[in-house]
Amino acid sequence: MSSSETPRGPVDSSRVPRYAGPATFARLPRLDEVGTADVAVVGVPFDSGVSYRPGARFGGNAIREASRLLRPYNPAQDAAPFALAQVADGGDIAVNPFHIEEAVETVEAAADQLLGSGARLMTLGGDHTIALPLLRSVAKRHGPVALLHFDAHLDTWDTYFGAEYTHGTPFRRAVEEGVLDTSALSHVGIRGPLYGKRDLDEDAKLGFGIVTSADVMRRGVDEIADQLRQRIGDRPLYVSVDIDCLDPAHAPGTGTPEAGGMTSRELLEILRGLAPCNLVSADVVEVAPAYDHAEITAVAASHTAYELTTLMCRRAATTREGREADSA
C-alpha cells in the first residue's frame, strides 16, 4: 500500500449497528475483499493439544464477536490503526482436529502464504500449540525472533504423555528448532504450582527470563515494560498471549486458570509500552468461551488483539514511509 492509497476500514457504526453486519474482527473487511493487507487477522480453531479443559477451538469467533465494540481510534496509543495500514480478516485456517502433527504443518503452510504476501499476522487461537508453527513461519522471513510470552504457565515442558506437540511444549520445540533468539526471551505473568523446581531450571537453560504476575503488581507496568524493551532491543519481535496470563476474575473463559494473575489493565498497559519495538506478528490464544461469563474473557482478548494490531499498524506505516523516502 502506498501513501496515496486509503485503507478500507471497518463498517460505519453510524449506519450499521454494532450488533449487525459482518462478524469479522472489528467489523473490518475480509482479506478477499481488499486483496492484500498490512495486517491479516486469522483464526485457528484448534484445541487438540490441550491438557485440561477443551473449548479454545471456539475462541477465535468469540473474540471476533466481542470485537464488534472496538472503535477506529486508539487514544492510549494516539493512533487510528485502520487508517494507518490495511487490516483485514483472513478467516480461519482449517486444520485437522484428529492429527496434531498434520494440524501444525497446515498452520505453518498457511502462515507462510500470508506472511509471503507481506502481511503481519494477528492470530486468534485456538490453543497454544499453534504458536510453534507460527514461529517457524515468522523465522523464515526474519530469522530467529525475540519472543515475549504472556502466560500463567511456562509452556516449555518436554512432553505430555510422550507427545512432543501440545499446548505446554511449543516454546521448548521452538528453541530446539532454532527459530527463537535465545538472548531475548521473556515470560510475563507466570504463577501457580509447578511439577518441581526442575521446571524453572530447565526453562532458564533454554534462555527465558521470567516476570511473575507478582512482579508486575509490585514493580508496576512502566518498569516492567522498560525491562522488556531493553531485553528485546531492535530485534524482530513475536508476542504470544495466552489469555490465562490474566486472573480468572478477568478471564474465566480459559482451559487452565490459575489464581493470582494480572489484571486486563496491566496487560494492556505493558503491551502499549512496546511501541518502540519491531513487532512482526502476534497471537492471542486459549480463549474457551464455554467457561466465559458475559464475554469477560472475549472482551479482554479482543482489546488485547486491538492493542497488538495497533502496534503492528504503526510499525507498518513507519516502514512504508521509510521505503518511500528512500525511493524519492
Q: What is the predicted pLDDT for the residue at 321? A: 81
The yes-or-no verdict on residue 4 having pLDDT over 70 is: no
**Sign of the dihedral defined by the CA atoms of residues 172, 175, 176, 177, in that order:** positive
**Sign of the dihedral defined by the CA atoms of residues 117, 123, 126, 128, in that order:** positive
For 286, the 3-state DSSP assignment is coil
Q: Could you identify the residue written with the cell 509447578?
A: 194
Is residue 34 in a domain? yes
Query: What residues make up the domain containing 56?
Result: 25-323
For 41, the 3-state DSSP assignment is strand
AA letter at 8: R
Is residue 11 in a domain? no
Q: What is the predicted pLDDT for the residue at 325? A: 75
- Note whether 171 and 129 are within 8 A (CB): no
The structural domain count of the chain equals 1
Is residue 9 in a domain? no
Is residue 5 in a domain? no
Is residue 15 in a domain? no
Express each pLDDT in 182-241 by its tens digit.
999 999 999 999 999 999 999 999 999 999 999 999 999 999 999 999 999 999 999 999
- Note whether 181 and 154 are within 8 A (CB): no
Is residue 64 in a domain? yes
The yes-or-no verdict on residue 101 having pLDDT over 60 is: yes
Q: What is the predicted pLDDT for the residue at 328? A: 66
Express each pLDDT in 243-260 by its tens digit.
999 999 999 999 999 999
Is residue 7 in a domain? no
**Rounded Cα gap, residues 138 and 281, in angstroms:** 8
- Note whether 292 and 255 are within 8 A (CB): no
The yes-or-no verdict on residue 302 having pLDDT over 70 is: yes
Q: What is the predicted pLDDT for the residue at 324? A: 78
Give the mean pLDDT of 122-150: 98
Is residue 167 in a domain? yes
Express each pLDDT in 12-36 by its tens digit.
999 999 999 889 999 999 999 999 9
CATH number at residue 268: 3.40.800.10
